Amino acid sequence: MSKSRSAVEIRGALLGTILGDSTVTNRGEFSCEQITESLIDYKQSILNQISGVLTYRHIRDRGNIQIINNKTYGRKLSYVVQTNSHNYFSKLRDRLYMNGNKQVSYSVLEDLTDEGIAMWFMDDGYLDYKKSSATRYLRICTDSFDKLSLKNIQRYFLEYYQIETKIYMHNAGHGRSISPRISFNAENSQKLICIIYKYFVPELLYKLDLHYTEFSLNSKRCSDEYREAASYIVQHTPSKDDDIV
């Protein structure tokens, strides 16, 4: 995680997390808040490689146990990394924020690296389950992106990685609006996992575990590359006894 990166690699990684949970203020300050401390450590290690950028860390008390959609979340603390105002981030903001809203141009996607895609997925990606077919697959929350952004994302994955995607309309219920999300079927989920798994912090590898049986892994549906990825994920994912939300 603390490896030295080129300017292109730094930009590619940061663009990924800005597409996700990280933000850039109109003053040119980078900011991100996570409940996973190791992910904040990861992001800070990248920020520290930019000349003239100063990073600040603090812990925020999230209050009492939260109950969201009948699920209980027991962590009270979140971890925040912020930077000073810097022209580096102002330039990134100009590329990503249109009329004050975060949107996705194709040129931004072209500057993503594999690590950047991993950062994006660690922030906003998740594993979903289709009960009718007992199938697990990956999705990325893109709720706030406009139609052109979604088209750009789909085109990018297809042209750069031969990964096909669909738009899934997510219904969160409780009177909330239905929002579009990028969805990968089982085959394309495997392809995506092979690209990003080695960049994941262990605490978030559960997002990539498709829970395939040994029989499924040995079938023709899985490539040798995916089998290697699945083995890595199983070996490096912390046990359920650890404090993970």
Residue 128 and residue 52 share a domain: no
Residue 224 and residue 156 share a domain: yes
pLDDT at 242 over 50: no
Residue 140 and residue 213 share a domain: yes
The pLDDT-based confidence of 87 (bands split at 50, 70, 90) is very high
Of 98, 131, 160, the one marking the end of a domain is 98
138 within domain boundaries: yes
109 within domain boundaries: no
For residues 44-54, b (16+ Cβ closer than 10 Å) or e, as one string? bebbebbeebe
166 within domain boundaries: yes
DSSP string, 78-120: EEEEEE---HHHHHHHHHHEETTEE---HHHHHT--HHHHHHH
Task: Read off φ and ψ for residue 93, nearest 5 degrees.
Answer: -65, -40
Structure-block tokens of residue 223: 């490539």
- Report the alpha-carbon distance of residue 18 to residue 33 in Å, rounded: 12
Residue 62 and residue 127 share a domain: no
Q: What is the pLDDT of residues 103-142, one digit of tens each?
A: 999 999 999 999 999 999 999 999 998 877 778 999 999 9
- Which of helix, strand or coil describes residue 148? helix
Residue 123 and residue 70 share a domain: no
Residue 132: CATH number of its domain:
3.10.28.10
- Report the alpha-carbon distance of residue 183 to residue 106 in Å, rounded: 18
54 within domain boundaries: yes
Q: What is the pLDDT of residues 45-80, one digit of tens each?
A: 999 999 999 999 999 886 666 565 666 666 578 999
| Residue 215 structural domain | 119-236
- Report the alpha-carbon distance of residue 79 to residue 81 in Å, rounded: 7
2 within domain boundaries: no
Nearest to 109 by CA among 163, 55, 42: 163
- Report the alpha-carbon distance of residue 22 to residue 33 in Å, rounded: 7
105 within domain boundaries: no
Of 98, 133, 153, the one marking the end of a domain is 98
| Residue in this structure with the two tokens 């906003």, named with its chain if needed | 124
